[in-house]
């Protein structure tokens, strides 16, 4: 089916251009975000990611800087001129985040949060809707309908792996889901091999597989010093590892009539 084109700020998702969204799992400091943003931009990423509000399994884990990150995000956006995506974890955050982000991310844990989806459907910002950790593709598509029913058609799906019996990877990246979305729906789809594998050595090969399956872009976690990351350090790419993926993507994408 024909894929919708959804603008993430100045970057179109779903056309012949392939989009790379990159940045840290959580925003930790100005230095961390700025150095990462500059590097990923130079390597060809067009959208910056960074968690401000984090949904963590343990309440004792770092929960994100919240509002105290807003000023530094503004500064980094100004310096790099990159559109910014961040997760909205609660409808009460929508109005505050509205002026900060070009794209609202709905995290895996909130795919079934229908009140959040309905509220986002009343906004005019694009939404990146992650698949729930145990979400059927059918349920994921119905979750997207909760947003579009309210009038916001700017929905992009994100496959980020599902929980299965397998334990060598954090999640099982469902390549079938990407092919399914492309064949049978109009939604663009972004692949998240960072959460999809949770193993940084597997991110490069699964990124290439996702391109071959037809994804419209990738979202990748990058950190200047993964061993000190406050979340998801085990799956964060170092700068040189990210750069190598970008080099490989630039070789692979033309096979599928796409460019970065
Ligand atoms: C994230 O993108 O950092 C994140 C929390 O992802 P997910 O919702 O897919 O677990
Ligand atoms: Mn993460």
pLDDT digits (tens, 9 = 90+) for 173-193: 999 999 999 999 999 999 999
**Alpha carbon of 1 to ligand 2 centroid (Å):** 31
Contacts from 36-43 at CB under 8 Å and sequence distance 24+? 36/222, 36/223, 36/224, 36/239, 37/76, 37/79, 37/80, 37/82, 38/79, 38/80, 39/222, 39/224, 39/239, 39/242, 39/243, 40/222, 40/242, 41/80, 41/82, 43/242, 43/243, 43/246
Residue 103's pLDDT band (cuts 50, 70, 90): very high
pLDDT of residue 138: 98
**Alpha carbon of 23 to ligand 2 centroid (Å):** 10
**Alpha carbon of 220 to ligand 2 centroid (Å):** 9
Strands 11-13 and 6-8: antiparallel
pLDDT of residue 233: 96
Pocket test for ligand 1, best of 53, 107, 109 (most atoms within 8 A of CB): 107
Question: What ligand has the least distance to the C-alpha of 54?
Answer: 1
Q: How many CB atoms lie within 10 A of CB 153?
A: 15
Asked if 170 contacts 118 with a C-beta cutoff of 8 angstroms, the reply is no
| 207 Cβ inside 6 Å of ligand 1 | no
> Cα–Cα–Cα angle for 238, 70, 30, nearest 5°?
40
Residue 80's pLDDT band (cuts 50, 70, 90): very high
Q: What is the distance between the alpha carbons of residues 106 and 47, in angstroms, rounded to a whole number? A: 16
Give residue-wise pLDDT tens across range 18-50: 999 999 999 999 999 999 999 999 999 999 999
**Alpha carbon of 193 to ligand 2 centroid (Å):** 11
Nearest CA to ligand 1 atom 1: 25
The share of the chain scoring above pLDDT 70, in percent, equals: 100
Return phi, psi of residue 23, to 5°. Answer: 155, -175
pLDDT of residue 47: 98
Average pLDDT, the chain: 98
Residue 136's pLDDT band (cuts 50, 70, 90): very high
Give residue-wise pLDDT tens across range 197-233: 999 999 999 999 999 999 999 999 999 999 999 999 9
């Amino acid at each position: 089916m024909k894929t919708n084109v959804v603008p993430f700020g100045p970057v179109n998702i779903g056309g012949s251009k392939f989009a790379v969204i990159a940045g840290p799992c959580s925003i930790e400091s100005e230095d961390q975000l700025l150095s990462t943003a500059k590097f990923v931009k130079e390597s060809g990423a067009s959208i910056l990611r960074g968690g401000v509000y984090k949904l963590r399994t343990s309440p004792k884990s770092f929960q994100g800087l919240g509002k105290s990150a807003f000023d530094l995000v503004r500064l980094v956006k100004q310096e790099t001129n990159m559109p910014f995506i961040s997760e909205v974890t609660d409808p009460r955050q929508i109005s505050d985040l509205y002026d900060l982000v070009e794209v609202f991310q709905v995290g895996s844990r909130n795919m079934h949060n229908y009140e959040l989806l309905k509220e986002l459907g009343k906004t005019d910002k694009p939404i990146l809707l992650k698949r729930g950790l145990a979400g059927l593709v059918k349920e994921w598509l119905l979750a997207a309908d909760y947003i579009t029913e309210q009038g916001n058609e700017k929905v992009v799906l994100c496959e980020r792996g599902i929980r299965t019996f397998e334990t060598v990877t954090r999640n099982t990246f469902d390549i079938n889901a990407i092919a399914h979305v492309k064949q049978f729906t109009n939604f663009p789809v972004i692949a998240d091999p960072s959460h999809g594998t949770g193993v940084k050595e597997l991110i490069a090969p699964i990124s290439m597989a996702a391109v071959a399956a037809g994804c419209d872009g990738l979202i990748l976690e990058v950190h200047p010093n993964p061993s000190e990351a406050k979340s998801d350090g085990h799956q964060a790419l170092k700068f040189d590892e990210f750069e190598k993926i970008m080099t490989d993507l630039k070789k692979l994408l033309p096979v599928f009539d796409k460019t970065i």
